[in-house]
Structure 1
Amino acid sequence: MEYIALGNSGLQVSRIAFGSWAAGGWMWGGTEQNDAVGAIHASYDLGVTSIDTAPIYGQGLSEEIVGEAIKSLPRDKVQILTKFGMRWDLAKGDFAMKTKDNSGHDLDVYKYAAPESIMKEVEDSLRRLGTDYIDLYQIHWPDKTTPIEDTMAAVQRLVEQGKVRAIGVSNYSVEQMQTAEKVVNLASNQVPYSMVRRDIEQDVVPYCLEHNKAILAYSPMQLGLLTGKIKPSQHFDASDLRATHRLFTPESVTRVNAFLDKLRPMAESKSATLGQLVLRWTLAQPGISVALVGARNAEQAVQNAHALDVQLSPQEIDFISQQLAQLQPQVA
């Protein structure tokens, strides 16, 4: 495994991080807790020391699963990355979405990051996680009803209290990062990034490179699309966010699979899966510090961790990028 510093926060994380969104079941069609705990343990055994979660994933379930998993791990060897600012139990702030919980009940979710809400959320997260500090505390989405300065001042107080080690943001623009930086030292920005979703290269990546901020790339496998295992005729339940995603139309899946077929010989020559090749290419891109990768069982977790065993030469990275350039106008 490879490790990297998150900006100048003093926090070191594994470059493959365990993403526990799917483990919480919410928007992924259910969960099996024992499989998720086993997946986290399998990842840790291979050097994946960083686990990313959030209260909204399963409405607390994902954090509880992570808490269960880390009970038997040395706390000082694990980095817990969680979030705040999405409330499903309070109708306040910026309305985010109508969704359903894991039991199929209607749920209204709000982006809300006022100081009093943060103080409640951190205590709830610490309890669910079974720990007394969070390594990286990230605002999940911008909340336009609360000044960024107020939000960041509250999280800074949590740092001073020892409940948070480093401060991050998620889904923030460059302008929003600049505003936050007037109040706190930001370690990172967690943003979507994959072979077929590269818009952050225009602005967020240059800013983070210039100002020594880490980028945590979420959905680097584009919700499973880049594994090569999704078929054009694949059916997704209504509770699965891929059911209505533009990249999962039969036409898009067909084009992406044709692109992946061009990479297959390279993957086979390295005894690697397509997914491992995709992850290695992703982490070779400028400014991309960490890939957050989900796994719902130990086998998937082991495959993800072994992605960093794959070595790509500059020529091979260029070949992949050239093939990708032909695909991108069709899927953008």
Structure 2
Amino acid sequence: MKYIRIQGVDKKISRLFMGTGDLRKLEEPQRQMLDAYIQAGGNAFDTAHQYRGKELVLGQWLAETKLRDRLVILTKGAHHDDGSPGPRVNPQAIRKDLTESLERLGTDYVDLYALHRDDPTVAVGPIMEELNEHLQAKKIRAIGASNWSHRRIQEANDYAAARNLTGFSFSSPNLSLAKPLEARWAGAISADEQACEWHAKTQMPLLAWSAQAGGFFSGNFTPDDRSDEEMVRVYYSDDNWERHRRAAKLAEEKGVTAIQIALSYVLYQRFPTCAIIGPRNPEEFHSSIRSMNLELTPAEVDWLDLRREAVG
């Protein structure tokens, strides 16, 4: 396993986060997958208040295994579609969601806390003031933003710096080799070229969700098969199929799969990155481990992303 550091967290953080979006209950296949992740050196879990019971399942597993002190927990709050209707990026929603998340997880703190959505009509000041209160109370070790534009993150951090507050120390948008044509879900943000340039300049860690583009590179999709409406809507473009072709070509040269190349692409950017993965079994997890250890050169990354016509 490889690791990064995030300011505010005193533990090293594995570059592969175990997602909990499909963690519905703790049966033997799920336990085997979690055991495989821990045995491989993984220590970071991604969940959210909005994930309909996933925090409770993760909390049950934490209580059973007694591993809490060794692990890094990322949870998220203030999602628009979570309880009351409409935008919820406000101090009251943050306070409510964090309190309930801690109760569900059975812990008195989370290592990483991110706002799950943004509401650009809301001033950053009250948001940063509220998050800093929870930092001071040691309920959170580091704060970040999921699905915020890099401009809004910079605005929030400028506000914090001017007032001697702690700013965001990580971002969690979508980042993948396949570039979405439109948001996969309402309010979702993908890191575009400008955002990546900003991350390269600031070196703020990026925790990428949907790092494998919903399986676009799995071999289960072709340009002629348009039966999956969401995949067609989000990822079917000439440029993405060219990225797919290049990933398959490079995979053949390296003796791996295209989806492993796609995950490796996310992990070999010019700034610190982690990938949030959702393996369904230990075999899929070990495939992700091989992707992490499959080093790509900057030239290969640029070629995969259509920024150059040849690797050499």
The answer to whether the aligner puts 1:67 opposite 2:66 as a matched pair is: no
Q: Supply the distance in 2 between the matched residues of 1:254 and 1:117 (Cα, whole angstroms).
A: 41
What corresponds to 1:221 in structure 2?
212
Q: Supply the distance in 2 between the matched residues of 1:243 and 1:291 (Cα, whole angstroms).
A: 20
The answer to whether the aligner puts 1:143 opposite 2:119 as a matched pair is: yes
Q: Residues 150 and 198 of structure 2 are in contact (CA less than 8 Å); yes or no, is this contact kept in structure 1?
A: yes
What corresponds to 2:144 in structure 1?
168
What corresponds to 2:235 in structure 1?
247
What corresponds to 2:262 in structure 1?
278
Q: Supply the distance in 2 between the matched residues of 1:185 and 1:214 (Cα, whole angstroms).
A: 13
State the secondary structure of the residue aligned to 1:167: strand
Q: Residues 56 and 87 of structure 1 are in contact (CA less than 8 Å); yes or no, is this contact kept in structure 2?
A: no
What corresponds to 2:106 in structure 1?
130
TM-score (norm 1): 0.76
What corresponds to 1:102 in structure 2?
none
For residue 286 of structure 1, report the CA deviation from its aligned partner: 0.7
What corresponds to 2:40 in structure 1?
46
Q: Supply the distance in 1 between the matched residues of 2:2 and 2:94 (Cα, whole angstroms).
A: 32
Q: How many residues align?
A: 291
The answer to whether the aligner puts 1:210 opposite 2:196 as a matched pair is: no
Q: Residues 93 and 145 of structure 1 are in contact (CA less than 8 Å); yes or no, is this contact kept in structure 2?
A: no
Q: Supply the distance in 2 between the matched residues of 1:324 and 1:212 (Cα, whole angstroms).
A: 20
What corresponds to 2:293 in structure 1?
309
Q: Supply the distance in 2 between the matched residues of 1:70 and 1:267 (Cα, whole angstroms).
A: 38
Give structure 2 stretches of 5+ with no counterpart.
Answer: 161-165, 181-189
What corresponds to 1:259 in structure 2?
246
Q: Say which of 178, 181, 185 aligns to 2:154.
A: 178
Greater RCO, CA 8 A, separation 6+: 1
TM-score (norm 2): 0.81
Give structure 1 stretches of 5+ with no counterpart.
Answer: 25-30, 95-111
For residue 78 of structure 1, report the CA deviation from its aligned partner: 0.7
Cα offsets for 1:115-173 (capped at 9, x unmatched) = 12211111211122122111100001102454222122111111111111110111222
State the secondary structure of the residue aligned to 2:207: strand
Letter in 2 for 1:262: K
Give the share of equivalent positions with the same residue, in percent.
Answer: 24
- The 1:297–1:91 alpha-carbon spacing in structure 2 relative to 1, beyond 3 Å, is same
For residue 50 of structure 1, report the CA deviation from its aligned partner: 0.8
Per residue, is there more strand in 1 or in 2? 1
Letter in 1 for 2:19: G
The alignment's C-alpha RMSD in Å is: 2.9
Letter in 2 for 1:45: Q
For residue 175 of structure 1, report the CA deviation from its aligned partner: 2.3
What corresponds to 2:185 in structure 1?
none
